[in-house]
């Protein structure tokens, strides 16, 4: 009986073990699949004889775990893969590494050309979290270059999305460069050298983030709307970066290399809209300039637009590296639009040379908080607020005109009748402006500029009389008696100037 029991038990145990190993959900060892052919579709098998990109994606989807797709295509690049239909959706984590191609020399040489893939086809559609796509050129697809749908923790780095292989000519995808739909915690670009993408030339948006769950995404170190050098406009036909009705995303950052160049786009550089769009941060970027932050590559509309109830977002900040340069844009530098679009903080930026206002609060945006009034400029800058703004932070700037090219620093208002304030630091001019930010986070437009010429080394500064209003307003208030006094004062002032030389 014991022998019979053992004889029966062993085959059953062996069969059970085989079933267990074959059971779906048991993770296999990650594998590497090497694409060695530009053909499509291939014979359906990824092997040493031939493996196409379509076959490699299919094999990676079937093998549980984070697989790697590498490239080893004979001959000098670029190597163009022209899918005849949509590539398989990526449903299992994978690393697609175009930098593995032996003739990769720091710029992508593996090109996915979607011109023959059919209508409404994406370059790569990823529903599996934890995937990475790097070192590819993705262009001419009739929908999006890359779509991240409902998946988290993906990384898109070092790609040219919407350009040719040189990164200098427009071969845009028909819709969005990188579309993020309800997908959290993805990284588009990065801070390390070579991780930023060129996302330019696309027929709609560069990066589009929306739908419930799309939070915690980071867009860093990219050129969005320029060529690969960041020196020439290659705009997306709509908006550089769009955040629609979702919270807590990060465009740029304070770390070295985190800032994007978002310039040359046919509409806005960055647009944030919708009542669900809260807590988004735009920091450390060049918006409207080239990669040096000095040359004009302006977006056609405003550099940054916040609208439709988007609130509690931050453009810039007081932390080192948080300020953006927002310059040369066709309309306003930063535009806040709508009565429910409130508590948006605009701080520590260099904003200048825009076609409209530096900051425009319109239709009730940011409660149309009144800017501070500068009363005097000399060894310090002082002023007041009207109506009283307390507690409020006042930031002081120098500019050529009426915006805020050079950020000097901040101070706070006093709890007195008019919320007076004094900034004790040095300024440069030729014009001084200021903004106020209320305790609720809303930032005003720039104040009226006040002219200031710093003294020569060892000289004495002029202290212009700008005590809250123009000379004509003073005359209207003081009456005729003040006219005579003003004349005497002017004479004394002229004599003093002559004495000072």
How far apart are the C-alpha atoms of 361 and 368, rounded to whole Å?
A: 5
Per-residue exposure over 388-407, b if at least 16 CB sit within 10 Å of its own CB, e if not: bbbebbbbbbbbeeebbbbb
Residue 28 confidence (pLDDT): 65
pLDDT, position 458: 60
Q: Looking at the predicted structure, is the pLDDT value of residue 46 above 80?
A: yes
Give the whole-angstrom CA distance, residue 56 versus residue 53.
Answer: 5
3-state secondary structure of 70: strand
pLDDT for 71 equals 98
CA gap 208, 249 in Å, rounded: 12
Structure tokens at 221: 């170190």
Q: 171 CB contacts (<8 Å, ≥6 apart)?
A: 139, 140, 162, 163, 164, 201
- Percentage above 90 pLDDT, the chain: 84
Q: Is the pLDDT of residue 18 over 90?
A: no
Collect all residues with Cβ–Cβ distance below 8 Å to 362 and sequence separation of at least 6: 335, 336, 337, 368
Res. 252: pLDDT tops 80: yes
Question: CA-CA distances (angstroms) from residue 395 to 353, 388, 462?
Answer: 19, 16, 22
Within 31-148, residue ranges assigned H as helices are 53-62
pLDDT for the residue numbered 457: 65
Beta carbons of 93 and 130 less than 8 angstroms apart: yes
Please report, for residues 357, 374, 434, 435, 441, the alpha-carbon distance to residue 393 in angstroms, rounded to integers and kept in the order given.
Answer: 21, 14, 10, 8, 10
Contact (Cβ atoms closer than 8 angstroms) between residue 328 and residue 360: no
pLDDT, tens digit, for every residue of 253-305? 999 999 999 999 999 999 999 999 999 999 999 999 999 999 999 999 999 99
* Secondary structure class of 477 (helix, strand, coil): helix
Tens of pLDDT along 445-473?
999 999 998 877 665 444 454 443 333 33
Q: What is the largest CA-CA distance in the chain?
A: 129
Cα–Cα dist 361/446, whole Å: 10
């Amino acid at each position: 009986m014991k022998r019979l029991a053992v004889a029966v038990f062993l085959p059953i145990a062996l069969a059970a073990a085989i079933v267990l190993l074959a059971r779906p959900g048991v993770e296999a060892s990650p594998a590497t699949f090497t694409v060695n052919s530009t053909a499509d579709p291939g014979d359906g098998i990824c092997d040493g004889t031939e493996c196409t990109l379509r076959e490699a994606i299919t094999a990676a989807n079937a093998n549980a775990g984070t697989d790697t797709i590498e490239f080893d295509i004979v001959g000098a690049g670029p190597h163009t893969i022209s899918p005849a239909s949509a590539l398989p959706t990526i449903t299992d984590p994978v690393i697609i590494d175009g930098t593995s191609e032996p003739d990769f020399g720091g710029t992508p040489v593996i090109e996915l050309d979607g011109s023959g893939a059919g209508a409404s086809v994406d370059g790569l559609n990823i529903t599996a979290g934890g995937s990475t796509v790097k070192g590819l050129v993705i262009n001419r697809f009739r929908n999006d270059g890359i779509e991240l749908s409902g998946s988290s923790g993906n990384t898109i780095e070092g790609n040219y999305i919407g350009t040719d292989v040189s990164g200098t000519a427009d071969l845009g995808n028909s819709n969005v460069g990188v579309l993020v739909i309800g997908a959290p915690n993805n990284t588009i670009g990065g801070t390390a050298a070579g991780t930023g993408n060129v996302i330019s030339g696309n027929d709609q948006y560069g990066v589009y983030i929306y739908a419930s769950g799309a939070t915690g995404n980071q867009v860093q170190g990219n050129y969005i709307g320029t060529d690969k050098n960041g020196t020439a406009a290659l705009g997306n036909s709509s908006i550089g970066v769009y955040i629609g009705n979702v919270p807590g995303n990060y465009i740029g950052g304070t770390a070295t290399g985190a800032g994007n160049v978002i310039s040359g786009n046919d509409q806005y550089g960055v647009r944030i809209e919708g009542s669900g769009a809260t807590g988004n941060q735009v920091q450390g970027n060049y918006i409207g300039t080239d990669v040096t932050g000095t040359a004009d590559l302006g977006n056609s509309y405003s550099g940054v637009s916040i609208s439709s109830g988007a609130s509690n977002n931050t453009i810039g900040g007081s932390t080192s590296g948080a300020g953006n340069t927002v310059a040369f844009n066709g309309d306003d530098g930063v535009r806040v639009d709508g009565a429910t679009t409130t508590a948006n903080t605009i701080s520590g930026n260099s904003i200048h040379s825009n076609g409209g206002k530096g900051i425009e609060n319109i239709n009730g945006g940011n409660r149309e908080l009144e800017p501070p009034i500068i009363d005097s400029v000399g060894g310090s800058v002082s002023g007041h607020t009207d109506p009283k703004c307390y507690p409020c932070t006042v930031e002081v700037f120098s500019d050529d005109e009426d915006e805020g090219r050079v950020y000097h620093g901040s101070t706070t208002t006093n709890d007195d009748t008019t919320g007076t304030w004094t900034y004790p630091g040095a300024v440069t001019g030729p014009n001084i402006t200021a903004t106020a930010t209320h305790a609720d986070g809303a930032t005003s437009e720039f104040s009226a500029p006040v002219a200031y010429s710093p003294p020569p080394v060892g000289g004495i500064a002029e202290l212009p009389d700008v005590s809250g209003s123009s000379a004509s307003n003073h005359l209207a208030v003081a009456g005729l008696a003040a006219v005579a006094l003003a004349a005497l004062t002017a004479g004394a002032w002229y004599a003093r100037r002559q004495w000072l030389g």
